[in-house]
Structure 1
């Protein structure tokens, strides 16, 4: 709301405006390297009008990790604008609403405002007609976003003039909005791929050919995927069951999970077969690309060639078999639903080793399958699948490779069997870009949002929220609430 005042005096009688800090147009703003401007030097700039001043401040905020909002203004009795305030988007406080009204429960909204005092105030100098910065406070009461995330904030979302014009022309041609956005994304991806080798100096790839010079195997990973592996590569899922290219070559995807509990891709390969030598070559390339770092745990679907190569190339990694594949194999090999149910309990039950052994032999003898070769083989491999024997090993929540199959369903949206080798790699890399963008969005949600508290011990709950990412905290919060409730109930009983 505008506040009318009778008189607005300038801060100084003679400002002595420095021509080197003169901003008259958007062209002047474009020429400024905001990354190199010190916060204390911003107050030296002066502007031809208030809109130019706001555009300047908004572009400055983009490089600092927040966005600017227009706040208070002042006018004279004659209606002449004399003063304007631009504040941080987290200025002020969100009103506390009652989320429980009768039987209706409103979904809690994250607290995004925290009373930040960062502000830029501009005033109009009467004699010169220029706007100068009369007050500038740049210390924030909240963490600032990584500059790569500020593009997700509402005030920094924009399209280039060329993209807008292209979009209008395509719409006039009868193309739907969804198809237009897809076409623009494709163009951006192709341009990125053309410059990939130049712009991504950490990109790694290698290939293997036979005696005739025919390409047999191809391995590749980009720099960001290599950086992800350095952080999250302790658990590696190794899946080679997916075929979606013109030559029906298996696609091998090395994947893992990040600190948002999202599936991420570390590397990929197209191979000609699933032989031991092929898998061994792949794991050797993996070690080279990842600077020799070996995973702590590896999850596979039980392929024997995979098992052999993992033991050779990653001898210290703990190999876990996919629970889903084992349950399916129990059904196909024994054919008794009740046995499958008991087998699942033995596999996933958090038993001590002695209890597991007792339940296993009771189950085997009860169904009369003690001489079945599959049963004997499973018991020999119990250190690769039974919770009782793998307790204390780190698997980042992995029990099955079904999460890999979920990743394959995402890949299916980008590639199909009509693509040749070059097209397949290009569109697969688009899929990897999409996965990495989801990670950036999750980073933004964790940094910019605050989860709603559900306990009376809010200090304890907030300390957990500060340590975890938003996704992990929401997984942990019910456990914390139950534990606190039990503790509170125990305390009440003592009273």
Structure 2
């Protein structure tokens, strides 16, 4: 299995500037060249080595792929020149093409995990198809970083009221010139913006602590944790009340997690863990306010959440395609099934494929392949046919989706329980629930005051649904004993869902039947599809039932 990693490319450079360096530089570069058989303790040490070599040679580098074995352990890693790959322009106007640093360079190294547990280089390609420029290496993204000392100095100067241009100039002067500084002015500006978000307004931090202290005193089940940065500024916050922790015990098999909703004027994303209760309503299972959306932050948040839930991880979690989330989930929830939000993927079709002249046909075909295929085998066949038909072999986005098909294609994830959820819509509906109480200008002090009111309103809606399910009865639509049995144990909302599925069974019948060794095979005719004029068009499916473990498997459409 191959995972595409974050790009860490560089600027477009086309001039060979080796003659600008001292004469012994080429000899030094040759001595530091990667060679087959070199060993390293871990992938980070390997990347540092290749980045240093690339910096002295004059090209950017990036992490490309990592391959796992059948049990999910990474066995090989490939690092490539930052100018690898082909440029697929998404520009709608062909007269205004986009610039790109990708020129299809094949320079790379591959390292594999050997029997001694060390990473050994097994493939080395040194030749580039473009010019090299060591004097421009400091501009490459892979070489830009801010040390702890520089970070502290930038924050100190900003708090002293020094403007960012003068702040950066002081760093350049201290480093002895631009060429000795590993960050640019834009990175400094981003750091200042982030730090300012962490320095809260007057009363915000104290309001949060006051609220948490009161909740702990009133509710022994209340849990919270706060992370501070190096300057003792509020960085990340997580909390969950006793009701959420108890609800997780009953409804925590599947959760959705989404951070697209900004709740306050400091742009700290609201990060709710959301489940679904016995009425089909969204329920809050803990939430956080975070300052960044990187792997480190998500690891902290997920760790605090699972600690809050007594170490019990969910069976499944639904998120968007954020790589930082994916990395954190693999670390904190290694045994949890991770599913990508299908809606987020499918809404990108026009953005990613709109440049193709046959976009409308491609979009329609892909939707059919994704939504209508009933088995992985059927999906593989139809996906490959689609790629061949429309010449989509070089579409990186589709290639990446295909590599991760087990995370989002319905026929690959239907073998797990998802509580009726296939998207992060629950998280988004929870965000919408808070819309009446907070907005983009809400301070943290106001947020914690309104949070409890919003949650109380949510609780009242659940209690009202409990009362209706207790006092009302929805009539059965058939005389089947099964429907009567479910009527007595399900809530109104869930019985309504069951009844819709159950009455749909009336439009299905068995067209053929075969009994094998321990397996019953059926050909089922489905008449639920109605065309204009009321005529029903039959669809046929092959369904197998294994008597040994009572497993039902729906095969491809016939």
State the match for 2:425 in structure 1.
Answer: 402
Q: CA deviation at 1:211?
A: 1.4
State the match for 2:361 in structure 1.
Answer: 338
Indicate whether 1:462 and 2:484 are aligned: yes
User: 2: CA distance between counterparts of 1:382 and 1:246?
Assistant: 38
User: 1: CA distance between counterparts of 2:507 and 2:422?
Assistant: 29
Equivalent runs, 1:237-248 vs 2, <5 Å: 237-248=256-267
Asked if structure 2 preserves the Cα contact closer than 8 Å seen for 1:193 and 1:426, the reply is no
Q: CA deviation at 1:356?
A: 0.8
Select 1:220's aligned residue among 204, 215, 239: 239
Asked if structure 2 preserves the Cα contact closer than 8 Å seen for 1:331 and 1:337, the reply is no
Equivalent runs, 1:101-250 vs 2, <5 Å: 196-250=215-269
Select 2:495's aligned residue among 464, 473, 479: 473
User: 1: CA distance between counterparts of 2:241 and 2:475?
Assistant: 37
- Match of 1:452, SS state, is coil
- Match of 1:240, SS state, is coil
Asked if structure 2 preserves the Cα contact closer than 8 Å seen for 1:346 and 1:386, the reply is no
Asked if structure 2 preserves the Cα contact closer than 8 Å seen for 1:347 and 1:385, the reply is no
The gaps in structure 2 that reach 5 residues or longer are 1-209, 513-558
| RMSD (Å), alpha carbons | 2.3
Indicate whether 1:370 and 2:389 are aligned: no
Select 1:422's aligned residue among 416, 439, 445: 445
State the match for 1:156 in structure 2.
Answer: none
- Match of 2:348, SS state, is helix
Distance 1:486 1:239, change over 3 A: closer
Once the two structures are superposed, residues 430-483 of structure 1 have per-residue CA deviations (whole angstroms, 9 ceiling, x without a partner) of 2222222221111111111111222234x4422111121110100111222233
> More helix by proportion, 1 or 2?
1
User: 1: CA distance between counterparts of 2:367 and 2:276?
Assistant: 24
User: 1: CA distance between counterparts of 2:250 and 2:261?
Assistant: 26
Select 1:438's aligned residue among 458, 461, 484: 461
Q: CA deviation at 1:364?
A: 1.1
Asked if structure 1 preserves the Cα contact closer than 8 Å seen for 2:212 and 2:224, the reply is no
Indicate whether 1:296 and 2:312 are aligned: no
State the match for 2:370 in structure 1.
Answer: 347
Once the two structures are superposed, residues 181-219 of structure 1 have per-residue CA deviations (whole angstroms, 9 ceiling, x without a partner) of xxxxxxxxxx99995332211000000001111000010
State the match for 1:283 in structure 2.
Answer: 302
Asked if structure 2 preserves the Cα contact closer than 8 Å seen for 1:252 and 1:270, the reply is yes
* Count of residues paired in the alignment: 299
Asked if structure 1 preserves the Cα contact closer than 8 Å seen for 2:476 and 2:487, the reply is no
Asked if structure 1 preserves the Cα contact closer than 8 Å seen for 2:255 and 2:314, the reply is yes
Select 1:266's aligned residue among 279, 285, 288: 285
User: 2: CA distance between counterparts of 1:372 and 1:301?
Assistant: 20
State the match for 2:168 in structure 1.
Answer: none
Once the two structures are superposed, residues 150-208 of structure 1 have per-residue CA deviations (whole angstroms, 9 ceiling, x without a partner) of xxxxxxxxxxxxxxxxxxxxxxxxxxxxxxxxxxxxxxxxx999953322110000000
State the match for 1:451 in structure 2.
Answer: 474
- Match of 1:394, SS state, is coil
Structure-2-length-normalised TM-score: 0.51
- Match of 2:374, SS state, is coil
Q: CA deviation at 1:484?
A: 5.0
Asked if structure 1 preserves the Cα contact closer than 8 Å seen for 2:274 and 2:284, the reply is yes
User: 1: CA distance between counterparts of 2:509 and 2:324?
Assistant: 50
Asked if structure 2 preserves the Cα contact closer than 8 Å seen for 1:296 and 1:317, the reply is yes
Distance 1:408 1:337, change over 3 A: farther
Asked if structure 1 preserves the Cα contact closer than 8 Å seen for 2:274 and 2:426, the reply is no
Asked if structure 1 preserves the Cα contact closer than 8 Å seen for 2:216 and 2:223, the reply is no
User: 2: CA distance between counterparts of 1:275 and 1:232?
Assistant: 28
State the match for 2:348 in structure 1.
Answer: 329
Indicate whether 1:251 and 2:264 are aligned: no
State the match for 2:382 in structure 1.
Answer: 359
Asked if structure 2 preserves the Cα contact closer than 8 Å seen for 1:275 and 1:305, the reply is yes
User: 2: CA distance between counterparts of 1:193 and 1:382?
Assistant: 42
Q: CA deviation at 1:246?
A: 2.1
Structure-1-length-normalised TM-score: 0.57
